[in-house]
Each structure stands twice: as structure tokens, then as C-alpha cells.
Amino acid sequence: MDRLQNTVRPYAWGSTTALPELLRERPTGEPQAELWMGAHPGAPSHIDRGDGPTALSEVIAADPHRELGPATVDAFGPQLPFLLKLLAAAQPLSLQVHPDPEQAAAGFADEEARGVPRDAPHRNYKDDRHKPELLAALTPFEGLCGFRPAAGSAALLAALDVGGLEPYVDILHARPESAALREVLTAFLSADRSEIAGTVRQAADAVRRLASAPEPGRWAADCAAYADIARHHPDDPGLLAAMLLNHVRLEPGEALHLDAGVPHAYLTGLGVEIMANSDNVLRCGLTPKHVDVPELLRVVRFEASDPAVLTPEADPDGAEPYTTPVSEFALSRHVLAPGGAPRTLRGDAAQIVLCTAGRATLTDEVTGTEIVLEQGQSVFVPAGERPRAVGDGTIFRATVAV
């Protein structure tokens, strides 16, 4: 086992207090959005095996079969296939969607063939992999995920009583659902910003009005979320696109699974996020970054769906797994009780173990190595090691589902 030295990413949407409080550090006054744990080239964790800090990506590259396990290398190549994060959102992230494996491979190959630089701001596909995600809430957490049924979105837009939205209400009522969602989203994202700006402002005023009404109505909670989006992204047509999506509230312990083609955005809260080790993001709005509308429309799944909210249930070993169909990662929560039986974290693949509350002591059954984790601290466990966990804290275990 190796204690991880991790990097905080200071994105503008990050909280100034949530990560410092969890890490028990003094706030800097600057946003601290994400703490990365893994071997992603953008900000790899470092470990020290006696010869100074070394990037985890370099350690794995030197002996991938030993570090990751043969099955992982056979399935995903000589790289850690997941990235684990602590994510602390104080304001809305961009509205976005991820491609499926076939779309990612085709999009990457096309941009490579056309010579689009990988660091170009208009590039869509930074690699040839998909990017499924799972976010487990540590605090109450809000987000947007998947299309609301067309009739529901029509009712919401009608409740705003904005003249410029009336044609879209009619479309959502009159067309088959998939066609209606496609037509309305396309119209919102393709409109000339100067021509639609008045409608966006009126919609922002309307959601603020409904969110603060003395007697909360059907859409009060949703409109409060949209009002916050409007505050941080004034005049952005992405506000209208966001109104087509389900508003989701997670309680601590609940998780949200985000599959390919599902439009989504995180809004506020602190959580543990795990994803396939990819950078492929197609943005729909709420961002100054590049929005490729034609490619986005090719990737989005235009179907209404209930958000994939997961509530873990303890298995016979006491672990609380979040079950998804993804093979690149598996995440489980372990709530340790003082004086409880040791919890063995079995697996033939590499693991990252993160402590999010209290304290946990990990002792490897193979090497006898012992590491104490305080909240916010994490370790890398090479394949073949079998740590036992005891303590009075909560840990999250990330590994590969192969």
C-alpha cells in the first residue's frame, strides 16, 4: 500500500470551504473544486516508495501487471482505467453529455485524421474512450440528469408564462416525445444569442418568481435550481436547455449514475466521484467553452428517463456497493464501527481507498504494512494486496469491475 499525494483543482465553480473542511486545512479563499486520486496525466497522484515522490502513472507504466493485475491490463491496457475524485461544487457546472465507446472511438479517429490538435479548444474527443460516471453524495447534493418527460417540460415552460416559450410548449405537446425533445433542444442551442436573449431573461425572471412565491407550487424546487443557474450564467441559452432535464436531489450516501448520451450537470454539494479515465465531454451550455451543436445532437439520447439514483445496501461482508453496468470501475462504501470485525478489501485488481470521515487503519494481510487514514486521505493498493480495515470512519473503495 502507498499513501497518495493528491492535487486539488481550482476550477471557478468550486467551493472555497468544502474541501478544506474535509481535509482539515485552512481555506485559501480561492475555489477548490476537485481532489484527484489516480493516474490521469492531467494531475496524477504521487507515491513515495523510498526514492522520493513519483507519479503514480510512472509507477504503473514501469510494471503494469504487478501494479494493476493481469486481468486489468488484458481488459484496458497498461493504465489505471478509472479516476477517483472528491468534488465540491458551489455553483453549477457546465451542462454536458458523454459519448458511448463507439462514438468516442469514431470521433477521436476522425479528429486525428483531420489533424485537429489535441489541445485545441474546439476539439471534442481527447481520447478514444467513453466516460461513464458515478457520484456518491457526502452532503445534500443537487444536479440535473436526463430528460424530463416532454409533457412535464411543457407544463413547466407553460407555468413560466413567457411568450417566447409558447411555440416550444406546443411542440412538446404535439410531437412524438423523442422528436419533440430533439427539436426543442436543437432550437434552444442553435438560436442566435442576441435574438433569444430576451426570452432567456424573461425565463430567468419567471423562475425566480416561482421559486420565491409565498405558497410553493409544483415547480418551486426546480425553479430554485434554475434561478441559481441564471444567477451564475446570465443570458445563457443553456438555461432553457436545463429546463428540459430532471432536477435531482441526493441525500448523503445516495449516488447518481451517468451513462453515455444522458445530458447532465452538477449544481451544488460535496461528493465522491468515480469515472472512466477519459476526457471526452460534449457541452450543451452554461459554459464559455466550445459547444459543437451538431456533434452534441448526434450523441445525445433523446428519451425521457428517471435519474439513475442508487442507494447502496450492505452485502454479507458489510460493504455497500454501488452497482452499475460499467466495467472500468466499481465503487463501494464501508462504514466502520469501533470494535467491529476487520473489513477485508478483497480483489485481484488495483484499488484506491479514500477516507471521508473519522479514521481508518489499513493493514495489508500480505506485507503487514499498516497505514492510518484520516478523513480526506487515501492510499493506492497494488493488485494482489489484501488490506484489512478497522476504525470509526467511513471509507470508499474504488477498483475495477472485471
CATH at 115? 2.60.120.10
Pairing status of strand 245-250 against strand 46-48: unpaired
State how far the Cα of 215 lies from the Cα of 220, in Å rounded to an integer: 9
Q: Is 318 a residue whose pLDDT tops 90?
A: no
- Looking at the structure of the chain, the number of domains it has is 3
Same domain, 226 and 138: no
Structural domain includes residue 29: yes
* Boundary of a domain, candidates 243, 269, 298: 243
Per-residue DSSP letter, 114: T
Structural domain includes residue 305: yes
3-class SS of residue 302: coil
Same domain, 202 and 303: no
Per-residue DSSP letter, 304: B
* Boundary of a domain, candidates 227, 243, 259: 243
Same domain, 237 and 259: no
Residue 341: the pLDDT is 87
Tell me what percent of the residues of the chain surpass a pLDDT of 90.
89
Q: Which residues are catalytic?
A: 283
> CB burial class (10 A; 0-12, 13-18, 19+) of residue 137?
buried
Same domain, 187 and 225: yes
For residue 14, what are the β-bridge partners?
A: 89
Same domain, 157 and 190: yes
State how far the Cα of 392 lies from the Cα of 336, in Å rounded to an integer: 5
The Cα-based distances of 402 to 42, 196, 356, 386 in angstroms read 25, 48, 25, 17
pLDDT per position as a tens digit, 260-316: 999 999 999 999 999 999 989 999 889 888 889 999 999 999 999 989 899 988 888
Tell me what percent of the residues of the chain surpass a pLDDT of 70.
100
Same domain, 111 and 182: no
pLDDT per position as a tens digit, 2-28: 999 999 999 999 999 999 999 999 999
Can you point out the beta strands (E) in 234-377? Answer: 245-250, 255-258, 264-276, 282-285, 308-310, 320-322, 330-335, 343-344, 351-357, 359-364, 370-374
Q: Is 251 a residue whose pLDDT tops 90?
A: yes
Which helix (H) or strand (E) element contains residue 137? strand 133-137
The Cα-based distances of 73 to 2, 80, 129, 161, 383 in angstroms read 20, 9, 15, 56, 11
Q: Which residue has the higher pLDDT, 361 or 341?
A: 361
Torsion angle in degrees (nearest 10) through CA of 151, 157, 160, 162: -140
Residue 197: the pLDDT is 95
Structural domain includes residue 349: yes
Structural domain includes residue 315: no
Same domain, 135 and 49: yes
Residue 348: the pLDDT is 86
Structural contact between residues 362 and 387, judged by C-beta atoms closer than 8 angstroms: yes
Structural domain includes residue 292: yes
Same domain, 354 and 209: no
On average, the pLDDT of the chain sits at 95
3-class SS of residue 274: strand
Residue 313: the pLDDT is 85
Residue 288: the pLDDT is 85
Same domain, 19 and 97: yes
Number of H helices, E strands in the chain: 12, 23
* Boundary of a domain, candidates 210, 243, 276: 243
Residue 216: the pLDDT is 84
User: Three cell numbers at 304?
Assistant: 425521457
Q: Which of 248-257, 342-351, 376-385 has the lowest mean pLDDT?
A: 342-351
State the average pLDDT over residues 113-123.
93
State how far the Cα of 232 lies from the Cα of 234, in Å rounded to an integer: 6
Residue of 391, 356, 374, 358 lying closest to 19 (CA atoms): 356
Same domain, 14 and 130: yes
b/e map of 370-396 (b: 16 or more CB within 10 Å)? ebebebbbbbbbbbebbbebbbebbbb
Residue 27: the pLDDT is 95
Q: Is 339 a residue whose pLDDT tops 90?
A: no
Confidence of residue 215 (pLDDT cuts 50, 70, 90): confident
Enter the pTM of the model: 0.95
Same domain, 230 and 256: no
Q: Can you give the residue range of the structural domain that contains 342?
A: 321-399
Q: Is 366 a residue whose pLDDT tops 90?
A: no
Structural domain includes residue 316: no
State how far the Cα of 164 lies from the Cα of 224, in Å rounded to an integer: 21
State the average pLDDT over residues 241-246.
97
Structural domain includes residue 360: yes
Same domain, 22 and 93: yes
Structural domain includes residue 127: yes
Please report, in angstroms and rounded to a whole number, the separation of the first and last CA atoms in the chain.
Answer: 21
pLDDT per position as a tens digit, 70-103: 999 999 999 999 999 999 999 999 999 999 999 9
Q: Is 361 a residue whose pLDDT tops 90?
A: yes
State the average pLDDT over residues 366-390.
94
Structural contact between residues 132 and 281, judged by C-beta atoms closer than 8 angstroms: no
Q: Which residue has the cell 471534442?
A: 124
